[in-house]
Structure 1
Amino acid sequence: MASLLELSGVSVSFDGFRAINNLSFQIGEPELRAIIGPNGAGKTTFMDIVTGKTRPDTGRVLWGEKSVSLLKLSESQIARAGIGRKFQKPTVFEAQTVRENLAMALKAPRGPLDVLRLRPTQASADRIAAIAAEIGLSDDLPRIAGELSHGQKQWLEIGMLLAQDPRLLLVDEPAAGMTPAERAHTTDLLKRLAERHAVVVVEHDMDFVRRLGCKVTVLHEGSVLAEGSLDHVTANRDVIDVYLGR
């Protein structure tokens, strides 16, 4: 499987602290990957680099079949290229309905006049219905987003990412604050999405990672410490010493 995203030799320092240290990483499409590691391991900085929020000091970040350098693109260009990011805290439009949230997120021209002319079409209605079914919110389309549970808001935000037709989804700690039933739904949702997309899940919860049943990358001090199945990496002495033993 060819790589969709490839980082090689990437380093970045903040005020003398090396947050990412000669990091190399690649993921194909479709693929599900979990990234784990102690606080300060570089997990958030990794996502910041991929989405253009942080520029590395050295290294390459290549995207797609044509190996386009993401370091030459702005954050908005990277998003349009097919990289979507879901932060740990849901960021939905609380005063709008679920349907309106999904409609605003649909991939479409985004100039001022385009937004003013925006009219619902059958195609967009069908797309919204399909996304709502995918994320498990079909019955909640008329509800105000602010009324949703924490887990439902997380699913809505994933739906808003899907509306942008991403090839890669970066999902930050999706299991945090969820009920057991919501966690099970989220596991199923991410595994389904990874049948068609590349999905990177940053997570601390080992039980959740185990249920994902995917390849795991362990970061430590900005580098890859170990990679493989969860059983493989959790048996690694270095991983036990720096992460699991805490």
Structure 2
Amino acid sequence: MSTLLELSGVSVSFDGFRAINNLSFQIGEPELRAIIGPNGAGKTTFMDIVTGKTRPDEGTVIWGEKSVSLLRMSESHIARAGIGRKFQKPTVFESQTVRENLAMALKNPRGPFDVLLYRKSAQGAARIEEIAAEVGLLDHLPRMAGELSHGQKQWLEIGMLLAQEPRLLLVDEPAAGMTPAEREHTTDLLKRLARKHAVVVVEHDMEFVRRLDCKVTVLHEGSVLAEGSLDHVVKNKEVIDVYLGR
């Protein structure tokens, strides 16, 4: 497994508060990783840095086999390079069907004429069905996205990320607000995706993290406090003091 993303010595401050403090982190491809930590640990800022929304004050963020610096790239370039992010609250086009949502997300040429001349291709239709089957929405393609349950909207948004053909998926608190059955489906989906992609899941729900059965990184005050299996990190005295003991 080769390293896909590597952060080294990354720090960023907002109004004198160090949100990220000399953070080093790496993930391979394919790999599933969970990131846990108390509120204010730097989990969201970490994702903001990787996706180009926030520029660090120091450190390096290196991507891919060619060791490209993400810090020189815009948010849109980073997305095109293969980094997809799913926010906690699903953002789907509610007045469009599931099929239309996936069609809009497909990785196609994006120039003004390309969009005007775009015709539904057999290849595109097949890809939409493949993605819908992957996320568990094949039977729901004709439905309006607004009619879907909360969990189904989350899966549709993951499908829309997959349509962009990412190599790394950053997924923020996917279990929040889901029914037990939806959570189980989501666990299975993320584990399946991690066979081909790098997947980082930021999550508070320890039971959900346990079911992911992957390496866990614990953040605290913008740094890595512990890393390893969940059983390993939950026995760490510092992790118990700052996070689990609360």
Give yes or no for TM over 0.5.
Answer: yes
In the alignment, which residue of structure 1 is the partner of 2:202? 202
Q: Which amino acid aligns with 1:64?
A: G
- What CA distance in whole angstroms lies between the structure 2 residues aligned with 1:72 and 1:62? 10
- What CA distance in whole angstroms lies between the structure 1 residues aligned with 2:105 and 2:234? 39
**Within 5 Å, which residues of 2 pair with 1:56-75?**
56-75=56-75
| Larger CA deviation: 51-60 vs 109-118 | 109-118
- What CA distance in whole angstroms lies between the structure 1 residues aligned with 2:72 and 2:98? 35
- What CA distance in whole angstroms lies between the structure 2 residues aligned with 1:207 and 1:152? 20
Q: Where in structure 2 are there 5+ consecutive unaligned residues?
A: none
Q: Which amino acid aligns with 1:76?
A: S
Indicate whether 1:116 and 2:116 are aligned.
yes
Task: Provide runs of 4+ in structure 1 moved above 2 Å.
Answer: none
| Larger CA deviation: 109-118 vs 155-164 | 109-118
Q: Which amino acid aligns with 1:48?
A: D
- What CA distance in whole angstroms lies between the structure 1 residues aligned with 2:228 and 2:166? 25
Q: Deviations over 1:2-23 (max 9, x none)?
A: 2100000000000000000000
**Within 5 Å, which residues of 2 pair with 1:72-221?**
72-221=72-221
In the alignment, which residue of structure 2 is the partner of 1:230? 230
Q: Secondary structure at the match of 1:55?
A: coil
Q: CA deviation at 1:241?
A: 0.1
- What CA distance in whole angstroms lies between the structure 2 residues aligned with 1:69 and 1:237? 35
Q: Secondary structure at the match of 1:224?
A: strand
CA RMSD of aligned residues (A): 0.4
Q: CA deviation at 1:116?
A: 1.2
Q: CA deviation at 1:110?
A: 1.2
Q: Deviations over 1:108-131 (max 9, x none)?
A: 111222111111000000000000
Aligned length: 246
Q: Deviations over 1:207-236 (max 9, x none)?
A: 000000000000000000000000000000
Q: CA deviation at 1:164?
A: 0.4
- What CA distance in whole angstroms lies between the structure 2 residues aligned with 1:36 and 1:189? 20
- Normalising by structure 2, report the TM-score: 1.00
- What CA distance in whole angstroms lies between the structure 2 residues aligned with 1:208 and 1:169? 17
Q: Deviations over 1:129-158 (max 9, x none)?
A: 000000000000000000000000000000
- Normalising by structure 1, report the TM-score: 1.00
- What CA distance in whole angstroms lies between the structure 2 residues aligned with 1:155 and 1:117? 29
- What CA distance in whole angstroms lies between the structure 1 residues aligned with 2:112 and 2:150? 32
